[in-house]
Amino acid sequence: MVDPRRWIGLCSAGLSLVVVVACADGDEDTRGSGTLSGSQGTPTTATASVTATDTASSSGASASSSTSTSTDTVSGGESESAASTLDTTTEGTTTEGTTTEGTTTEATTEDPTGDLTTDGGLCNTELMVTIRDFTSAHPDFESYTGDVAFLGLVEDTLGDDDKPVYANPGPTSQTSGPDQFLQWYSDTQGVNQTFAVSISLSESMPGVFTYDNSNFFPIDDQGFGNEGWPHNFLFTTEIHANFKYEGGEVFTFTGDDDLWTFINGRLAIDLGGLHPPLSKTVDLDAMADYLGIEPGGTFPMDIFHAERHTDQSNFRIDTSIQCFIPQ
C-alpha cells in the first residue's frame, strides 16, 4: 500500500511536469469481523518520476533544471517514493517548488473525514502485517505447551532494530534460547518464509474497532505448507504502525500463543509463552507516564505474535484508537 503524498504543482512559462505512479493490490480474503488481504512477501514498489524542462526567455536568460527520483521499499509490502524538490533560477530569481512571482501554491491530499495526520498520512483502521512461516523442525515450534502466560521472555523496551529483545541468557521452559528466538522476527533463509498481508478493524460498536478471527490462519497451504495438518499453524506475526492518541483510548488483545505489544517502545502487553486464548487491556491514560505519551501526539505501536502449536489460532484486537498510520 502506498501512503498518500503531497505533490506540488509547478507553474511557470514553458515548465512541464510528468508524474507516474505504479502500484499493485493483493487479493482479499474476509475473515472474522475484520478483513484480511495479502500476497507473498515480495514488496511492491511504487515509483514517482518528475521531469522538468524550462525554456529561457527571449532576453537570453537560461534556466537550470534537475530530475531525480528516490524510491524506498518498506518491508511487509509497503512502498514509498518521493521526487526531490526542483529549484530553477531565471535572471537571478529563484523559483522553489511552486513559488511563481512571489505566490506559493500548495497541493494537499485530504482525508474524506477531514482528518489529516501531521506526516501527511491518512488516518485509517488497517494494519499492515508481516507473517513468517516456520516448520516443526524449528526447536521453538510445536515443541512446547502451556496453560498460562509466561512473563519476562522479552525485555521491556524494544531493541534498536524495533524488534523484541530476548531477556534470558539461555533456554526457558517455553523457548530454546536467544539465537533461535532471534529468527522469529528476522528473515532467515532456510528457516522461515515471509509474507505480507493486511488486517482491517471494523467498528463493532460506536467508537470501538475490532478485528476478531478465531481461525487466524493467514498462510494456509503457502510457504512450507501445512505439514499434514488442516492449517498452517506455525508462524509469527509482526505489525508496526503509528497511532494518534487523543486521550481516553484503550487497546485490548485476545489470543494465543505469544503476544507482545509495545507502545512508544515500551512493553505494554506481555502474554508470552504457549497458552490458550488470553486477554489483556492497556488503558493508555493510566499508563501514559510509563509509556511516555500525552494526548495530541502520534506514537508508534509494535505488535509481535507467534502461533507455535496446534490446534487453535485466535487473534482479536478491540480498541477505541481510531487512527492508525502504517509505517
Look at residues 299, 263, 258, 292 and name the one whose alpha carbon lies nearest to residue 275: 258
What is the reported pLDDT for 36?
Answer: 56
Residue owning grid cell 506514537: 299
| Mean pLDDT across the chain | 74
Single-letter residue type at 118: T
Q: What is the mean pLDDT of residues 265-287?
A: 97
Q: How many helices, marked H, and strands, marked E, lie in the chain?
A: 2, 20
Q: Say if residues 64 and 88 touch (Cβ distance below 8 Å).
A: yes
pLDDT-wise least confident of 35-49, 85-99, 267-281: 85-99
Cα end-to-end distance, the chain, whole Å: 11
Residues, the chain? 327
Q: What is the mean pLDDT of residues 274-294?
A: 97
Spatial separation of the C-alpha atoms in residues 301 and 305, rounded to whole Å: 13
Q: What is the mean pLDDT of residues 82-99?
A: 36
Q: What is the mean pLDDT of residues 255-268?
A: 97
Report whether CATH 2.30.30 matches the domain 126-326. no
Residue 156: how many CB atoms within 10 A of its CB? 16
Higher pLDDT, 201 or 51: 201
What is the reported pLDDT for 67?
Answer: 36
Look at residues 97, 82, 85 and name the one whose alpha carbon lies nearest to residue 12: 97
The domain segmentation of the chain, as residue ranges, is 27-33+42-104, 126-326
- Tens digits of per-residue pLDDT, 204-261? 999 999 999 999 999 999 999 999 999 999 999 999 999 999 999 999 999 999 999 9
Predicted structure pTM score: 0.66
Strands 126-133 and 34-40: unpaired
- Tens digits of per-residue pLDDT, 103-159? 333 333 333 333 444 445 578 899 999 999 999 999 999 999 999 999 999 999 999
Rg (CA), the chain: 24
Residue owning grid cell 524449528: 138
